Structure 1
Amino acid sequence: MQPEQPSARTVGRGAKVRAAVHAAALAELVDKGYAALSVENVALRAGVHKTTVYRRWKDRESLLTDALGEHLAMDIPVPDTGAVETDLRALARSIVQTLTGPTGQAVLAAMFTGAAHLPEIAEARRHVFDDRLTRAEPVVTRAVRRGELPEGTDPAELLKTLAAPIYLRLLIAADPVDETTADRAAHITLAAARAGALRAPAS
């Protein structure tokens, strides 16, 4: 027997259509992977005609780039717990939780393997990570104002240091990643920052 195809349904226009198509693209990515992703199946799952999709996105690559950018820009909230230690731990745990879920795993596979060779995906990856660093900067600037971190601590370097061991385990070592991984990354990052190792370079 052939597997049942998702039935088409009617959705509204504008923002609702964009949200439905984005959700469908990510669902298709999770279910079938990048290689089998098609505009036709995304449209069917979203409940729109494929011409509706093509009016907004010229091909599956531009659609996927847009969907990934939207997903990754919104998926990790920036904490404000009142202390840098708990902020960093919460941020690291959010990264782990997002990247180890089904959608996160599919997104990683698309961005770093299946579609990694596409210039559009590479640019989207840079844009998303730059945006994430910018949005998380208040965690560091607040900590500096409270006297928890040295003056001159570079927010981008600190946040990259926080995320690096998580991505290393997921993408290179293929090691298990959990809250312990997140907590260790936060602990090491905080120690390095307090030691002055993550200050911005002198201009």
Structure 2
Amino acid sequence: MTDAASAPGTVRPGGRTARIRAAVLRAAEDALIECGFAGVDLAEIARRAEVGKTTVYRRWGTPQGLVADLLADMAEQSVRRTETGSLDGDLRANARLVVSTLTDPRQGVLFKAVICAATTDERTAQALHRFYATRIAEWAPCVDQAVQRGEAPHGTDAAEVIRAVSAPLYYRFLVSGDPLDATVADQVARTTARAAGTGAYVR
């Protein structure tokens, strides 16, 4: 049985191999955007990245392994949290970041492709869960700091507050098709901050 720490697509290459990883992940992004998960063929990815097929098969093993590594890289490259000094401001920054990502012509299509793949492939779903867990962990300290400032009561579930910001934005993105813009982001952040202040997210 393969150890999760050494599974294909989980190795973090450095030095001279970093460029290979970057080229392959970029090719995987392009394939997902153009064709969805069905377009992530390792031989085709190798051709796009101008890398030997053996290298791609050895390092990532399967399309699922490659997408898992792509999501890990996206988590690593994501914009770090903004600290404005208020819960409303921090959540507004978070919401605007989500909106800007989902409405980006390239990133929005990429996220839809990955989310679609995650509905039918367990390994991709697990990688997607890890991606969002990383992003929630990055922003949760903003809520903890708000508790320390007295803007929300002790016992507030920081992760749940961050989820509450993203959830309605993803609903618009994936389900309703309603507009996604800075105004919507600000409204969601303001509503969530007020709810947190009343103790709605106390464990």
TM range (shorter): 0.7 to 0.9
Q: Which residue of 2 aligns with 1:42?
A: 45
Rounded Cα–Cα distance in structure 1 between residues aligned with 2:117 and 2:127: 14
Shift of 1:73: 4.5
Given candidates 123, 130, 133, the residue that maps to 2:133 is 130
3-state secondary structure, aligned to 1:150: coil
Q: Which residue of 1 aligns with 2:28?
A: 25
Shift of 1:154: 0.8
Rounded Cα–Cα distance in structure 1 between residues aligned with 2:110 and 2:76: 13
**Aligned residue runs from structure 1 range 104-143, under 5 A:** 104-143=107-146
Question: Which amino acid in 1 is paired with 2:196?
Answer: A
- Runs of 4+ residues over 4 Å off in structure 1: none
**Aligned residue runs from structure 1 range 68-87, under 5 A:** 68-87=71-90
**Where do 5+ consecutive residues of structure 1 fail to align?**
1-11
- Contact 2:33–2:113 under 8 Å retained in 1: no
- Contact 2:115–2:128 under 8 Å retained in 1: no
- Aligned-residue RMSD, C-alpha: 1.7
- Contact 1:169–1:175 under 8 Å retained in 2: yes
**2:19 paired with 1:16:** yes
Residues 173 and 120 of structure 1: is their aligned pair in 2 closer, same or farther, counting only changes over 3 Å? same
**2:183 paired with 1:180:** yes
**Aligned residue runs from structure 1 range 124-163, under 5 A:** 124-163=127-166
TM-score normalised by the chain length of structure 1? 0.85
More helix by share: 2
Identity of aligned residues (%): 40
Rounded Cα–Cα distance in structure 2 between residues aligned with 1:115 and 1:127: 12
Residues 99 and 92 of structure 1: is their aligned pair in 2 closer, same or farther, counting only changes over 3 Å? same
- Contact 2:117–2:124 under 8 Å retained in 1: no
Give CA-to-partner distance per residue, 1:70-121, whole Å, 9 cap, x none.
2144323211122221111111100111122133223332233244211101
